[in-house]
C-alpha cells in the first residue's frame, strides 16, 4: 500500500470537527499530511490516515513478525472468537451461535450486498482487523473502499492483511465514528459487517453515516443484540461486555430506533443465522 490512492482522492476528505476543506501536503517518501486552516495536522502514512486528533498515525509494525509483545485489541479478541482459536473462543461460540458460524458467513453477506452494485465508492466501519472485510475488498477491484476504525491496533492488523494481498483499492482511516471526515452524500453504500458493537454511541454514528451516504443508497450490516435468552446473553456479557470488547449491545428495538431516528427509511431487521445476531438495512430517503 502507498499514498497514491489518498493523493488521487484527497478532496474526498473534510476536517472531522468543522467540515472544512483540508490542504494535502506531501512530505517525504510515503508520508504526507492533511492540514486545516488552524494548522491542525492529520498524518498520512502508507495508505493510512489518522483523523483522531492530529497527533499522527503510529508507525505500522507487523506484529506477527516483530518480537514486540502487543496486547490484543478488542477487535483481536473478537477475531479470536470468530475463528475459535482457543477454549474461551470455542465456549463463547457454542453459547452464542454454535460452531457453524465463522467469519466467512459475515463476508458472504457483505459480498452479496456489494454484488448488487459492482462499482462505486463504499464506506466500511468498523473494519476491525479486516478479517471480515478484506476478502470483499480483494474481490471487488473496481470499487473503492474507505475502511474506518477507532483502534490503532485493529487498523495495524488490517493494514497487513491488505498489504499481504497487494490490495490497492482501500484507504484505511482512523477516525471517530460520530465525526466522520468525509463529504456529505458521498458514498454509494455503507457496510458494517465486522462489528457495529465496537461503536459506543450507535445513534450518533448512524446519523453520521446517514450524512455521508447518497440519497437512495443503503446502509447494511450485522449487529449483536440482546436476545432475552439467558445462555446467549450471559456469554456476551461475560466474554465481551465485561472485557470491554464491545462498547454497546442494543436490543432489537434500540437498533431499529437508531436507524429510524437517523433518518433511514425502508428499515428491515432480520435474524442472521442465530438469535443473537441481527441483520439490518436502511435506505437514505
Could you write out the DSSP letters of every residue in 30-42? Answer: TEEEEE-TT--EE
Note down pLDDT in tens along the chain; length 285 residues: 788 899 999 999 999 999 999 999 988 777 899 999 888 899 998 899 999 865 544 555 554 554 454 567 787 888 887 787 777 778 877 777 766 678 899 999 999 999 999 899 999 999 999 999 999 999 999 999 999 999 888 898 899 999 889 899 999 999 999 999 999 999 999 999 988 999 999 999 999 999 999 999 999 999 989 887 777 777 777 777 766 778 888 999 999 999 999 999 999 999 998 888 999 999 998
The pLDDT, as a whole number, for residue 60 is: 54
The pLDDT, as a whole number, for residue 273 is: 85
The pLDDT, as a whole number, for residue 242 is: 63
What residue spans of the chain are helical by DSSP H? 4-8, 74-83, 87-96, 103-115, 134-139, 152-164, 202-212, 230-236, 252-262
Its pTM stands at 0.90
List of residues 6+ apart from 187 with CB closer than 8 A: 120, 121, 122, 123, 146, 212, 213, 214, 217
The pLDDT, as a whole number, for residue 179 is: 95
Amino acid at each position: 500500500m502507498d499514498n497514491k490512492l489518498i493523493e488521487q482522492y484527497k478532496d474526498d476528505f473534510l476536517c472531522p470537527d468543522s467540515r472544512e476543506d483540508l490542504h494535502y501536503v506531501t512530505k517525504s517518501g510515503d508520508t504526507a499530511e492533511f492540514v486545516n486552516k488552524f494548522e491542525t495536522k492529520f498524518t498520512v502514512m502508507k495508505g493510512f490516515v489518522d483523523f483522531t486528533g492530529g497527533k499522527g498515525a503510529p508507525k505500522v509494525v507487523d506484529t506477527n513478525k516483530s518480537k514486540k509483545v502487543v496486547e490484543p485489541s478488542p477487535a483481536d479478541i473478537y477475531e479470536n472468537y470468530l475463528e475459535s482459536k482457543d477454549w474461551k473462543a470455542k465456549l463463547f461460540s457454542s453459547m452464542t451461535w454454535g460452531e457453524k458460524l465463522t467469519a466467512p458467513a459475515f463476508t458472504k453477506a457483505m459480498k452479496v450486498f456489494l454484488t448488487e452494485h459492482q462499482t462505486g465508492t463504499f464506506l466500511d466501519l468498523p473494519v476491525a482487523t479486516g478479517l471480515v472485510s478484506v476478502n470483499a475488498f480483494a474481490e471487488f477491484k473496481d470499487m473503492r473502499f474507505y475502511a474506518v476504525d477507532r483502534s490503532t491496533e485493529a487498523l495495524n492488523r488490517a493494514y497487513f492483511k491488505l498489504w499481504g494481498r497487494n490490495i490497492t483499492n482501500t484507504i484505511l482511516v482512523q477516525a471517530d465514528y460520530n465525526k466522520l471526515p468525509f463529504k456529505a452524500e458521498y458514498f454509494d453504500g455503507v457496510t458494517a459487517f465486522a462489528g457495529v458493537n465496537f461503536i459506543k454511541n450507535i445513534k450518533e454514528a448512524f446519523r453520521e453515516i446517514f450524512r455521508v451516504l447518497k440519497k437512495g443508497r443503503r446502509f447494511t450490516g450485522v449487529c449483536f443484540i440482546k436476545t432475552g435468552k439467558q445462555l446467549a446473553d450471559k456469554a456476551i456479557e461475560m466474554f465481551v461486555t465485561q472485557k470491554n470488547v464491545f462498547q454497546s449491545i442494543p436490543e432489537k428495538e434500540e437498533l431499529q430506533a437508531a436507524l429510524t431516528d437517523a433518518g433511514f427509511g425502508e428499515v428491515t431487521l432480520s435474524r442472521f443465522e442465530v438469535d443473537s445476531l441481527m441483520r439490518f438495512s436502511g435506505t437514505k430517503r
